[in-house]
Amino acid sequence: MSIQNTVSSWEQLLEIAQKNTPARRVRRPGQSPSTAPIPSSLHKLPPNTTPPVLLYRDTNSWCPFCERVWFALEEKEIPFETEFIDLSNKPKWYTDLVPTTLVPAAKIEGKLVYESKDILLTLEERFSNPPLLPEDPEENAVARQWVEDAETNGFRDVAYKFLRQTPVNNDELANLQATFEAKLDELEQALGKYPGPYFVSSFSLVDIMYSPHLDRLAANLPVYRGYHIKRNPRFPRINAWFEALNQRPAYHRVKSDDTTNNLLLRRRWGVSPVGNPLPLDVATSQEIQYQAEAAERLSDNREVAIGDILKNSGVQALAVNGDVSAVREAVDFHLRLLADYLINGNGAPLPWGRVAGKDNVDPFSAAVGAITLAYVRNRICAPRDMSAGAATAFRAAADKLLASIY
């Protein structure tokens, strides 16, 4: 029996994956991104009603300011629609509409608001339940001040200088680090003002203002500066704050995984790593659901994935006499193996590999498989293509299969 017949069909894979995860996305044929998440509260809207909020955000879901708004929308369970803006080629109607021409912007009950902080405050005003600012007037005033401070206290400037600026010498690097650490000390202090792990006594807009930036820094700094925020004994409260965020389902819907954040820094900002890549994010108790979500994404969006691999990975160079169909078939086969492994893996023997004493690897298929898996492993991007948890499961499975090809 040919090995090709030992792996399930796409239809079978999709059916099993969908049984194991409730996660679904909307397909957007011919558009970028090719799929979009469904807001968790959209089902609350009566049929044929327009959601009260329209969010304009970046096509790649990299923008930390857009993440703030999305985070609040999910926390408040506000049904919303998304319009994606290609930042490398902004449509004229968008630059005409939004004075800053930046994302995010939003139409909130028909009214245009831009600047993430202002969008958050308007959402708070129009959709006060659940509140993301404290009810106690004194604490409310502190929280509002901290929301303002998050924009003006120089934290982001100092942090991104340390991360991205090429220092002329070690002294300059040490200065950049010290200035950044002093800013983190300020956050550490602020986190101690009220009981509980958040900036004020309950989760609030202040946490939302900082989380996309601290997340990116915590992922990037170890790899690009050899500096750790997580598990750094100087910042116990910041670490407890990360733990508390980790308990929030909305956070898991909107966050990126560390690998996305790290690949982005290299590709978008051209920064060179000084250290090894971070290990993949630690698997959680929901790993099986995340594996199913990753398999569902891959199976449901396979045509786009295959098209992208053929066009952009370089694999077509392996076509013999220009016959791309054999390459396409081998790409398809390895993606099915990946989906199958995501569903049935977990300790089961890998679906191929050398049988003792037998040289059973087809070199053409192995080469196409290696390119396919290496490409998709780094190509997927969370939360653009799937949730961060699913992306982590996806990369882990691709690594496992890649290591078993030869």
Ligand X SMILES: N[C@@H](CCC(=O)N[C@@H](CS)C(=O)NCC(=O)O)C(=O)O
Q: From the list 87, 158, 310, 370, which residue makes contact with ligand X (rule: CB under 6 A)?
A: 87
Q: From the list 61, 116, 260, 289, which residue makes contact with ligand X (rule: CB under 6 A)?
A: 116
Cβ-contact 126, 142 below 8 angstroms: no
Write out the two tokens for 14.
């999709």
Share in percent of the chain as helix, strand, coil (round to 5): 55, 5, 35
Nearest-5° Cα angle at 305, 303 to 311: 100
CB of 225 to ligand X, least distance (A): 21
Stretch touching ligand X by CB under 6 A, among 111-119, 120-128, 142-150, 380-388: 111-119
- Give the integer Cα–Cα distance in Å for 322 and 250: 48
Write out the two tokens for 351.
């679906």
Cβ-contact 176, 217 below 8 angstroms: no
The count of other CB atoms within 10 Å of the CB of residue 270 is: 8
Q: From the list 102, 214, 265, 343, which residue makes contact with ligand X (rule: CB under 6 A)?
A: 102
The answer to whether 190 contacts ligand X (rule: CB under 6 A) is no
CB of 177 to ligand X, least distance (A): 24
Beta bridge partners of 54: 81, 107
DSSP reduced 3-state for 37: strand
Stretch touching ligand X by CB under 6 A, among 101-109, 170-178, 241-249, 265-273: 101-109
Q: Which class for 304: exposed (0-12), middle (13-18), buried (19 or more C-beta within 10 A)?
A: middle
The answer to whether 115 contacts ligand X (rule: CB under 6 A) is yes
User: Nearer Cβ to ligand X, position 209 or 339?
Assistant: 209
Q: From the list 51, 104, 222, 389, which residue makes contact with ligand X (rule: CB under 6 A)?
A: 104
User: Nearer Cβ to ligand X, position 115 or 149?
Assistant: 115
# residues contacting ligand X (CB under 6 A): 11
CB of 183 to ligand X, least distance (A): 18
DSSP reduced 3-state for 82: strand
Site string for ligand X, 33-72 (x = CB under 6 A): -------------------------x----x-x-------
Stretch touching ligand X by CB under 6 A, among 26-34, 109-117, 251-259, 261-269: 109-117
Write out the two tokens for 392.
């982590």
Residues that bind ligand X (CB under 6 A): 58, 63, 65, 87, 101-104, 115-117
